[in-house]
Structure 1
Amino acid sequence: MMTRTAFLKTSLAAAAPGAAAGRPAAYLSSKDRRWRLAPVTAAAMGTPGLTLHIDPSIGYQEILGFGGTYTEATAYNLKRLSAPLRRNVLQLFFDPVRGAGWSLLRTTINSCDASSGYYDYTKGSANPEEFNIQPDIDNFMLPGLQEALKISGAQFKIFASPWTPPVGMKDTGLFNKGSLLPQHYAAWAQYMVRYLDAYRAGGVPVWGLTPQNEPEAYEQKWDACGWTAQGMTEFLANHLIPRLRQSHPNVRLLLWDHNKNHMLKWLETMLANGTVRGAAQGIAHHWYEDGEAKNFGPLAEAQKLAPHLPLLATEQGVFGVKLLDGDVAELYARDLLLNMQHGSAAWVVWGMAFDHQGGPNHAGNFNHSPIMIDVEKGRLYLNPSYYYLAHFSRFVRPGARRIRLSGAPETLPAAAFLQANGDVVTTVLNPGGEQVHTAIHAPARRAMVQLPPGSIATVVFPAQAS
C-alpha cells in the first residue's frame, strides 16, 4: 500500500537521473517489490555472464506508446477518493518524471464489463438524435480524463472502443448478446461521431478509434456485439469512414481489436476494400487464446499483408485480483518485449485502477490492474506490474524506434530503443531463479548491471554530443 508521503518519496527517488552527467543510468524493479524503479549503479567494468550488443544503425518499428485502459470502474474508484489522493493516483500514471508517464490510454464508448452496470448515451434508443454524454459526466469518465490531462508533463493519446451499441440497434435487444442490425449502420456511425464531438467539446480529444471491441464475441457475460468481416467492412466503408472524414479526419481508425490468432482472415476481407485500406491507420490485437502469448506468427503475416499499418497490442489482462502478485508483472513484461520483437508499436494493459477486489465489475469478471485501491480506507496498492510496465512507459517515449539488439537468449527477453532525443534505452527481463551479471554495449560505450532473480532492468545511455 502507499500513502501520499510514501508516493512522493518513492517517485522522486526513482526519478533521479544518473544520466544527467552523461553517464549511463540504470533502474531496477523486482517481482518481490524489493526494487521498484530504483536507480542502481551502471558500472563500466566487470566480468559479465551475459553480453548484449546494440546497433542503432539498424532500426525497426516506431513506437506509438504504452499505457492502460480507463473504464467506468476506474472512474468510479477515482471519484470516491479525496481530491489530493486522486491527484496522486493520476500522477503515478501520467507524470513522466515522478510516475509511469503513460503515453497511450484506451477508453470505452458506452459500458463494458469493468463498469458498475450497463449504460449508453441514448438510454437504449436507436435514434442518435437522443445522444447525451451526461452519463460519462455523472460517472466521472469525462471529468477524470480532464483531470488527468492537467497533470504536470502528461502527454498521452486516447483511443476509444465500443463494447456494444445501444440495445435498440441490435437484433436481440440485449447488451451482452447479438449483432448490430444493418438498418442501423448509419445511426451507429453517427452515434460514434457524436461521442467524438462530445469529448472534443469537453477538452478531451480522441486520437484513435476501434469500431468494435472483440467483434467475434456475439455473446458474453458482459457487453458484446458480434460482427462478420463482411458486415464490418460494409459498415466502415459506407458509414463510419465517410463520417470520420467529414467531422474527425485526424482520428485514427484502428482495425480488428480482437485476438491475434484470428486476425488474418478479417484483415484480408477488410483491406480488400479500397476505402477501408485507404482509411485504416493501425491494426489492434489482443493476447487472449494464445496461452502466455506464445503465438506471434500472425503479427508477421499481418505486416506482410499491410506493411503500412502499425500493430498495436490493445488489451492484455489477467483474470482474478492477484494483489501484489509478481508473476503477473513478469507475464506482462515478457509479452510486451515479445510484442516489440515481433513488430508491435504499442502495448496497452487491461485496467488502470480497479478496487482491491478487482472491480467494480457488473459481470463479476474481476481483474488485476497495475494499481488497486481500497477506496474505503484510502489505500493504494502499487502492484509489481505497475513498476514493470513503467520501465517502458517512462523511458521509451512515443517517436522512439526499436533498434537492433543481439546476444539476448530466449530465457532473458530484451529490447533496445533509440529515442527521438538520441538517448538509447535497453530493457532486460530476468524471469529466472539466478542472478545475471549483464554487460550492455552501445557504440563506444558500455554499462554493466546486476539482474537479481525475478527482476527487470532498464539502462539509459544519454545522447552523445555530435
Structure 2
Amino acid sequence: MIFLQLLTVFLVLNISLANDCVKRTYTADSFVCVCDADKCDTLDIQKTVEPGYIAIYDSDQKTARLDKTIVPVGQLKSRIDQTKNNQFTLNVNVKDLKQKILGFGGCFTDGAVLNIASLSNGLVKSLMYDYFGENGLEYNIGRVPVGASDSSTHAYSLDDTPFDFTLSHFALAEEDTKYRIPLLKVAKMLNPEFRAFASAWSSPTWMKTNHLFHTAGGLIWKPGDVYYKLWAQYYVKYLNAYLDHGVKFWGLTTENEPVAGLKGLNWGTLGMTPEDIRDFVKLDLGPALKAAGWGKDNLTIMIHDDSTDTIGDYASVILNDPEAAQYVKGIAYHWYSRNYPSSYQTLSKVHDKYPDYFIFSSEAASEHLGDWGRAESYAIDILEGLQHWSTGWTDWALAVDTAGGPNWARNWVDATIVVNATAQEYYKNPMYYALAHFTKFLPIGSTRVGSSVVNAPANVHTTSFITPDNTLVLILLNMGNDQIDLTINGFANVPVTTTLNQDPSQYAYCIELKC
C-alpha cells in the first residue's frame, strides 16, 4: 500500500476524516485540537489497504489533520500523460539499504510531568495515550533529565550536600518518584517497545568550578581525578536508583549541551571540551559503568548531545581515540544552530567518517501556540535528518503550560501538547499531526532506501523507507507556492503520478506500498 501526501483529483472510492478534531484558533496562522473530559480526537490510521489501492494521508495549515483518502493505483497511473504543472520525478531504489530507525519520542522534563499531573486522572490517561498509544503517536523513545533541566521549577541536583564524596546523600527527587517514574511505566505499558535514555544538564554545584548550576563552569580538576570519578559514580547511582523503581534505561548521553557550559548560557550547564569528554569516557564514565553492570551490551552511550555546528569536532576527538570509542554506540545532536542544507550535510560527513556509530536527534524546541510554521520546521528537520543518516528524533518537553513553563531559567517554549490545568483541557499543536506522518509509519527497524529526485524544487523535501513488514513508505513535504506534479518510479511496476498541492502549508505525507 502507499501513503502519499496531498490530495489530488482522483476517482475516490472512500474518503473520511482521520480524526474528530475540535478546533480552536490562537493565532491567524492555524489551529489547535482541543481535548477535555468529553472529547478528544485520535489517530485512527489504517495501516493496510486492499491490493491495488493507495491510502493518502493529508494535513495542511487551515483544515486537514491526517485526512485519509483511498484511491486505486490505476487512477494514479492514468494521470502520467495528463500532468501539466511543475513536474519532478522521485526515483526509489528499494535495494539500496541505508540506516534503520531507532525511534521517535519526547522528553519527560520536570515541567512536563508536573503539567501532565495537573490534569484529572482521565485526562492524564488520554494525554499519555495520545503520545504512546496505538491510536496516538506511538512514541517509542523517552528522554529523561538527570536532576533539573531548564524545564523545572527550580535548579537542583540529586546530591546537593556539599562535599559528599561518598554520595551518601544521593537521592531521587520527588519529581522522579512521584511524577516521572509512574509516567514512564505508563508509556512502557502503552507501547512495549518504549525505551528511555538519560541526559544530565549539570553536576551538583559543589563539584563545579563556578559553584553555580548555570553559566560558564565545568567539573573541578581534570578527567581521571576525584571529581570526574565522582561524577561517573553519580551516573551509576542514578541508573541503579531508577532500576530499583522498575525503570531500566536503554541509553545515556555523556551530558546535555557541553558547549553551553563553555559559552556560559543561563540554564543548567556543565562545560566540557571534546578532549574533556573523551578522557572522561575512557578514564571515568566507561570503566565505572562497565564495572557496575552497565557496559556496552546493557546501556547505549551517546556522545555530543549538542548542536550540529560542533558535532564534527566532538565526534572526531572522541571516536578517534579507541580507548574512549570502545564505550560509545551513538552520536546525538540537537536542531539548534541549524542551517539548511549545511547542517544536515555535516551529519552525512560524520556518518561517512564514523559509519559504525548511529546518529540520533535528541532535542528540538520552539515557540508559538497553534503555529503551523513550527509543524513545517519539525517536518523539515526530521526529513533532512533522516536523509542524512539520522536514526530518529526527540522532541523537547512532552507538555508545557499555557505560559510555556514551568521554567526556572525563563526559557519559555511551546510544546507539541499544551496543558491548561485551569480549564482541565489540553491542546494538540499542529506539530503533533506533522510528527504523526513519521511516527505512525516508520516503526523501529524501518530502513531508509536510496532515492533521487529530478527537477525537484528547493522547497520540496522527501524521504523513503521500507518497514519491517516490507512496506514502502514515502514522506514528502511541499512548502512552495505552486502545485507540483510528481512522478514516482520504483514500485507498482510502472511510474505513478500524483500532485503536491500549491498551498505552501500543504504538508506532504506518505505513500505506502506493499513490496
Deviation at 1:22, TM superposition (A): 6.4
Decide whether the 8 Å contact of 1:371 with 1:381 is kept in 2: yes
Decide whether the 8 Å contact of 1:169 with 1:180 is kept in 2: yes
Which structure 1 segments of 5+ residues have no match?
none
2:357 maps to: 309
Letter in 2 for 1:271: L
1:11 maps to: 42
Instruction: Identify if the C-alpha distance between structure 1 residues 271 and 82 changes in structure 2 by more than 3 Å, giving closer, same or farther.
Output: same
Separation (CA, whole Å) in 2 of partners of 1:447 and 1:78:
45
Instruction: Identify if the C-alpha distance between structure 1 residues 355 and 222 changes in structure 2 by more than 3 Å, giving closer, same or farther.
Output: same
State the identity as a percent.
28
Decide whether the 8 Å contact of 1:427 with 1:456 is kept in 2: no
After superposition, the C-alpha distances for 1:40-97 in whole angstroms (9 at most, x for unaligned) are 23442224544433221111111111222221110110111111101111111111x3
Equivalent residues in 2 for 1:397-436 (5 A)? Answer: 397-407=443-453, 408-436=456-484
Deviation at 1:161, TM superposition (A): 0.6
2:55 maps to: 25
Decide whether the 8 Å contact of 2:104 with 2:439 is kept in 1: yes
Letter in 2 for 1:306: Y
2:417 maps to: 371
1:143 maps to: 182
2:277 maps to: 232
Q: Which moved more, 1:231-240 or 1:126-135?
A: 126-135
Decide whether the 8 Å contact of 2:119 with 2:425 is kept in 1: no
After superposition, the C-alpha distances for 1:268-289 in whole angstroms (9 at most, x for unaligned) are 2212322211111001112222
2:172 maps to: 133
Separation (CA, whole Å) in 1 of partners of 2:470 and 2:157:
45
Instruction: Identify if the C-alpha distance between structure 1 residues 450 and 401 changes in structure 2 by more than 3 Å, giving closer, same or farther.
Output: same
Which structure 2 segments of 5+ residues have no match?
1-33
Letter in 1 for 2:155: Y
Structure-1-length-normalised TM-score? 0.92
Instruction: Identify if the C-alpha distance between structure 1 residues 387 and 329 changes in structure 2 by more than 3 Å, giving closer, same or farther.
Output: same
Separation (CA, whole Å) in 2 of partners of 1:292 and 1:87:
38
Letter in 2 for 1:316: A
Separation (CA, whole Å) in 2 of partners of 1:69 and 1:315:
8
Decide whether the 8 Å contact of 2:147 with 2:173 is kept in 1: no
Q: Is residue 186 of structure 2 the alignment partner of residue 173 of structure 1?
A: no
Separation (CA, whole Å) in 1 of partners of 2:233 and 2:129:
35
Separation (CA, whole Å) in 2 of partners of 1:448 and 1:300:
30
After superposition, the C-alpha distances for 1:109-149 in whole angstroms (9 at most, x for unaligned) are 01011111112211344532221114334551222212222
2:385 maps to: 339
Decide whether the 8 Å contact of 1:31 with 1:329 is kept in 2: no
Separation (CA, whole Å) in 1 of partners of 2:497 and 2:401:
39
Instruction: Identify if the C-alpha distance between structure 1 residues 438 and 351 changes in structure 2 by more than 3 Å, giving closer, same or farther.
Output: farther
Separation (CA, whole Å) in 2 of partners of 1:294 and 1:385:
24
Separation (CA, whole Å) in 1 of partners of 2:241 and 2:71:
48
Separation (CA, whole Å) in 2 of partners of 1:350 and 1:43:
39
Equivalent residues in 2 for 1:83-102 (5 A)? Answer: 83-95=121-133, 97-102=134-139
After superposition, the C-alpha distances for 1:342-388 in whole angstroms (9 at most, x for unaligned) are 11111212222111221111111111211111111112111111110
1:40 maps to: 69
Please, which of 243, 265, 277 is the counterpart of residue 200 of structure 1? 243
Q: Is residue 264 of structure 2 the alignment partner of residue 264 of structure 1?
A: no
Separation (CA, whole Å) in 2 of partners of 1:98 and 1:154:
15
Aligned length: 456
Q: Is residue 484 of structure 2 the alignment partner of residue 455 of structure 1?
A: no
Please, which of 100, 105, 117 is the counterpart of residue 62 of structure 1? 100
Q: Point out 4+ residue stretches in structure 1 off by more than 6 angstroms.
A: none
Deviation at 1:400, TM superposition (A): 0.7
After superposition, the C-alpha distances for 1:16-61 in whole angstroms (9 at most, x for unaligned) are 34525563322111133x1112212344222454443322111111
Separation (CA, whole Å) in 2 of partners of 1:265 and 1:149:
35
Letter in 2 for 1:170: K
- The secondary structure found in structure 2 opposite 1:231 is helix
- The secondary structure found in structure 1 opposite 2:404 is coil
Please, which of 338, 345, 350 is the counterpart of residue 297 of structure 1? 345
- The secondary structure found in structure 2 opposite 1:434 is coil
Separation (CA, whole Å) in 2 of partners of 1:59 and 1:189:
38
Separation (CA, whole Å) in 2 of partners of 1:405 and 1:52:
7
Instruction: Identify if the C-alpha distance between structure 1 residues 20 and 252 changes in structure 2 by more than 3 Å, giving closer, same or farther.
Output: farther
Deviation at 1:292, TM superposition (A): 5.6
Letter in 1 for 2:170: F
Instruction: Identify if the C-alpha distance between structure 1 residues 260 and 137 changes in structure 2 by more than 3 Å, giving closer, same or farther.
Output: closer
